[in-house]
Structure 1
Amino acid sequence: MNGPEEWEGYDYREPCPPHHDGPGEPPGAAPGPPTARPRIPSPRAAAEDRGPLPDAPENAAPDRGPAPADAAPPRTPAAPGDAARPGGGRPGDGRPELPHRVLTSLLGAWALAACSPEETAAVEAHLTDCAPCADEALRLRDAVGLLHPADSLDLDPLLRSRVLEGCLGRRPARIPVPEWAAPYDAETAKLDALLRDMGDAEWRAPVRLRWFDGEQPVHRETTAAGVLGHLLAVDGLVATALGLPDPLGDAAPTGRAGPGARTRALWRTVGEAPRTPALHRPWREQSHTLIRTAAFAGGGVGDLAVPYGPVQLPLRDAFLDRAFGCWLHAGDIADAVAYPHEGPAADHLHSLVDLAARLLPRALAHLRQSGLAAPPRQLVAAGAPGRTLHLEIEGDGGGHWYIALDSPAAVGSPEHTVAHLALDGEEFCQLAAGHIVPDEAAAGSDGEREAIRDVLYATASLSRL
C-alpha cells in the first residue's frame, strides 16, 4: 500500500492508472495487496476556521503531509478553563461565568423577563443542558401566565369620547362657540361617536325612554333611530327660532306644539321604532347648523325666545335644554346596546344643573295648580323672598342654589331657608330626567319635610317625552 510519503508532490491532474472491476490483477500490474488502491487525502481545514495560527515552536516537527482520510483529526489542546460551564459559554463569547446555583436562583427573574441581557443569555444557554432547570423554568413561565392574564386587543370604547373632549377643550375655534352652546356641541359630538360605532343589530335594539308625568314614572319603547327622531323634532324648535328650516316640514303640527306633539308627528311619518340609521345624518347636519348659526349670530342672540309649547325659554337656556336631552338620551341608547357613555364635563354639568335649579320655582307652581303640591305657607309680596330651600349639589358640577318655595317670581335667600336638600350632581340630573322616582332619590335632607318632598317631585316633573 502506498504510504503518505509516496503521495507528496503527486499531480492530481494526471489520469488515474487504468483499473478493472473484475477479479484478479489487471494486465501488467505489479504484485501487491489485492485491495490496494490510491487514496485521495481529505481537504485541510482553513486557518480562518480555528483563528490565527500560533507561532510554530523552534523544534517543531517537519510537516509529514496530510493524514489519511480514515485517521482521527488532530485535537487542539484545550486552554485552561476552556471547558463547558453551567453558564453555557466560553471566555470571550459575551456570557457571564455563572455557577449552577446562581443560574437556578435566576429562573424566577427570567420567567418575569426581569433579567439583564447577559443573564438571560446565560440562563437560556443553561436550560439547553440542564433538564431539571428547564422543567422548573417551564413551570415558572406557566405561573407567570396566570398572574398576567391576556389583555384585550380591543380599543377602549371611551377612547374616542376622550379624544373628542380633549380636542373640543384645547383647540380654539376660529369662530368661538358661545359658552352656553358648548355643552350642546360636546354632547352631540359624543352621541355621534357612539352612533358611528353601532352595527345593524344595535340599530334594531329596543331603547326605553323614561320620564315622570308628575305622579308616576312613564316609559315608551322605541329604537336608536326613534330616539334620533325625537331629538331631531325637538331641536327643530331651536332651528325655527333661528330662522332655519323646520325638519318636520309639512308634517309639523300647527300652533304652539310642544316637544311631545312634534315627536309624535315625526314618528307618524317615519315610524315610531325605525330600524335603520337613516335619521343619523339629518340629525347630525342639523346640530352642526345650529351651532354654526349661534356662533355667527353674535352675543345678543342668546336672549332670543324659543317657544316650548305654552312656555318660552331664551335661546341660551334652550341650547342647555337640548344638551341635557342629548346626553340623557345618548345614555338610553348606550344602555340598550351595552356601550359605556360618560357624563358631561364638570363645567358643562354645572350649567345643566343650574338650568334645572332655575326652573324649579316654575315647576313647583305648576304642581300646585295641578293639586300635586301643598299650597304656599304665606303670601309673598313683590320682590320678597318668602321661604327658601337650600339645594346643595355635590360632586362634579356641584354648587349651592336657593329655591324660592312660595312664588315663581321670588328670589330665594339664605336668610329665609327652611329646608336643606343635598344630592349628587348626576343623580339630580337623572331625577330631573324622570329616570329616578322622587321617593327613591338618594338625598340628604333637613328641615321642613313637606317642602323637601315638593321640591323632589317638582324636579322629576321637569322631565317629558
Structure 2
Amino acid sequence: MTSPHEEVRDLLGAWALDALMPGDEGIVVRHLGECEHCAVEAVRLRATVRHLDGPDASDPEPDATPGMHGLSLALRSRAPALRTAPHAAPYAAAVAGLQALLKELDEHGPWGTPVVHDWDVHDTVAHLVAADEPLARLLGRNGRGPVLSVESAEPADAAGSTADCTSSADGVSPWRVAWEQRTREVIRRERARTPAQTVSTWRNQAAGLLSSRAAHDTELASRATLLNGVRLPVADHFLARAFEAWVHAQDIGGALDRVVPPPPAPHLWQLVRFAVRILGPALGPQAPPVALTVAGEGGETEWVLGSADDPVRAELVMEPVDFCMLVGGRRAPEQVPRGTTGDESAARRVLNRAASLSWL
C-alpha cells in the first residue's frame, strides 16, 4: 500500500508544473507544510521547471536596475508562493519574498546588522517566529495545538472589527505587554541557535499556516476571533501576518542596502483595505469626519472616517505604500507624503491615530 508520503512524492512533479488536480493540490500543500524533505524537493523541482522555461523576456538583466544589488534576481528566481485562497495570498507572497532575501545571507553573512528597535537581522526573524505564534496556535499549526477552535469563533459582523480598548494602569494594552514579552523570550532563545535554525523555524511555522484549512477555506476564514487586541475575521489575521512580514522584509532590506519591492498591486490593496478597517473603529464614530483617498497603481478608493452625521472637515490623499508604512509605524505622521485640504487638525488626528496602530 502506498504511504501518504510516497503518494505526495509522486505528485511533486505535477505540482512543479502547476498541473495538479484541485483535490491533489490540497493534499500536497498540507504535506509540504509538515515535511521538510518534500518541501526541499518541491522547491528544487519548481526551480528546475523555471530553468527549463528560460528567463522572462520582460524582466531586466540582474544588474540592469540600479540599486537592486542582486535582490531582484533572488525575487525572480524564488520558489512561487504556495497557492491559497485570496485572503492568505498576500501572506504567502510576503513569506516567499522574505525567504528570497534571507537566502542571500549565508551562515557567516551580516546577520548581526542592526535592523529596527534593538534587533539585528537574526533577531528580526526570531520576532516573526513570535509574531506568527498566536495565529499558528489558533489553527493548531505550531506543534502546541490550538488555543481556540476557529469553528466555534463568531462570524464577523458588518462593522468588520472591534479593537480591544482595555489597558493597564500605565495605558498600555495587556496584549501589547504579552506581545513584547513573548518577543523577548523568543529572541533570547533563538540567539542560542544559528540563524539557519531560526529561519527554518520561521519558515516551517509559516508553511504550516499556509497549509491550514483556514488558508484555503474562505467560509472558515470569515469567522472572527480575538487575537492581539482586536477581533477580526481569521482572513484579516492572515492579512496582518502579511503586513508584518512585508514591513520587516523592508526593514531588513533597508539595513542591508537592498531594495525590497512592494507587494503586487492586488495584494497591496488588500493590505490598504485591511488597514482602513482597523483605522475606522480606532478613530471612533464621534471623530471629525475626514475623507481619506488612497490612489496609486491598481486604482483609487475613498473612505470617510469618523462621524457619519457631520460634514467632511478635511481631505487626505495618500499613495498605498505610504499609507501602509504610516500604519506600520515606518512613516512619521508629520513626514509621510500626502495631500491635505480643509481642517488640518482633523487630518492630523487621522494621521496620528493611524501611526499609533503599529505594533510591528
The aligned runs of 1:274-423 (5 Å cut-off) are: 276-294=195-213, 298-365=217-284, 376=286, 388-406=289-307, 416-423=311-318
Contact kept in structure 2, 1:353 and 1:428, CA below 8 Å: yes
Question: Under a length normalisation based on structure 1, what TM-score does the superposition of the two structures give?
Answer: 0.52
In the alignment, which residue of structure 2 is the partner of 1:8? none
1:300–1:232: structure 2 CA closer, same or farther, 3 Å change rule?
same
SS in structure 2 of the partner of residue 305 of structure 1: strand
Cα deviations by residue, 1:244-300 (Å, 9 ceiling, x for unpaired):
336799xxxxx96753232122123334x9763321011111111111114676232
CA contact (8 A) 1:390 1:420 kept: yes
The CA deviation string for residues 396-452 of structure 1, in whole angstroms up to 9 with x for no partner, is 25422323314xxxxx59x94332100111111111111111011221011222210
Deviation of 1:311 after TM superposition, in Å, equals: 2.4
Q: Distance in 1 between matches of 2:107 and 2:258?
A: 15
Aligned equivalent of 1:270 = 190
Partners of 1:460 and 1:248 in 2: how far apart?
Answer: 34
**Distance between the aligned counterparts of 1:275 and 1:289, measured in 2?**
21
- For 1:438, what is the secondary structure of its paired residue? coil
From 181, 194, 197, the equivalent of 2:88 is: 181
2:85–2:215 contact (8 Å) kept in structure 1: no
Contact 2:214 2:220 in 1 (8 A): no
SS of 1:158 mapped into structure 2? helix
1:160 to 74, 96, 100: 74
Note if 1:224 corresponds to 2:138: no
Determine if contact 1:225/1:278 at 8 Å carries over to the other structure.
no
2:335 maps to 440
Q: Are 1:261 and 2:181 matched, yes or no?
A: yes
- What is the alpha-carbon distance in structure 1 between the residues aligned to residue 103 and residue 294 of structure 2? 34
1:9-88 aligned at under 5 Å gives the runs none
8 Å CA contact 1:178–1:294 kept in 2: the answer is no
CA distance, structure 2, for counterparts of residue 163 and residue 196 of structure 1: 11
Q: Specify the alignment match of 1:459 in structure 2.
A: 354
Distance 1:398 1:438, change over 3 A: farther
Q: Deviations over 1:70-118 (max 9, x none)?
A: xxxxxxxxxxxxxxxxxxxxxxxxxxxxxxxxxxxxxxxxxxxxxxxxx
Give the match's secondary structure for 1:244. coil
How much does 1:337 deviate?
1.6
In 1, Cα distance between the equivalents of 2:109 and 2:282?
36
8 Å Cα contact 2:135-2:227 kept in structure 1: no
Measured on the aligned residues, the alpha-carbon RMSD in Å equals 3.1
- Give, in angstroms, the shift of residue 195 of structure 1: 0.6
Structure 1 range deviating more: 235-244 or 450-459: 235-244
CA distance, structure 2, for counterparts of residue 458 and residue 294 of structure 1: 34
- Structure holding more helix per residue: 2
Q: Secondary structure at the match of 1:324?
A: helix
Listed as ranges, the gaps of 5+ residues in structure 2 are 1-62, 147-173
For the 8 Å contact 1:258–1:310, the answer to whether it is kept is: no
Match of 2:290, as an amino acid? L
Structure 1 or 2, whichever has the larger Rg, is 1
Tell whether the 8 Å contact from 1:389 to 1:417 is kept in structure 2 after alignment: yes
**1:136 — aligned with what?**
none
> Are 1:196 and 2:103 matched, yes or no?
yes
What secondary structure, in the 3-state scheme, does the structure 1 residue paired with 2:334 have?
Answer: helix
Q: Confirm or deny: 8 A CA contact 2:318 2:337 kept in the other structure.
A: yes
Number of residue pairs matched?
Answer: 267
CA distance in 2, matches of 1:402, 1:342: 26
CA distance in 2, matches of 1:350, 1:360: 15
Equivalence for 1:409: none
Q: Is the 8 A contact 2:105 2:111 kept in 1?
A: no
Cα 1:163–1:206 shift into 2, 3 Å: closer
Runs of 4+ aligned residues of structure 1 deviating over 6 Å after TM superposition are none
Alignment check: 8 A CA contact 2:125 2:198 kept: yes
Change (3 A) 1:202 1:332: farther
CA contact (8 A) 2:333 2:351 kept: yes
The 3 A distance-change label for structure 1 pair 161 and 297 is closer
Aligned residues: percent identity?
30
Once the two structures are TM-superposed, the CA of residue 362 in structure 1 deviates from its matched residue by: 2.6
Query: 2:335 is aligned with what amino acid?
Result: E
Cα distance in structure 1, aligned partners of 2:343 and 2:326: 20
Distance in 2 (CA, whole Å) between partners of 1:194 and 1:266 is 22
Say whether residues 1:234 and 2:131 are aligned partners. yes
Unaligned runs of 5+ in 1: 1-150, 210-219, 250-254, 366-374, 378-386, 407-411
Residue 211 of structure 2: SS of its match in structure 1?
helix
Cα distance between partner residues in 1 of 2:215 and 2:355: 35
Partner amino acid, structure 1, of 2:271:
L
Shift of 1:308: 2.7
**Paired residue type of 2:189:** T
Determine if contact 2:75/2:100 at 8 Å carries over to the other structure. yes
Q: How far 1:208 sits from its partner (Å)?
A: 2.7
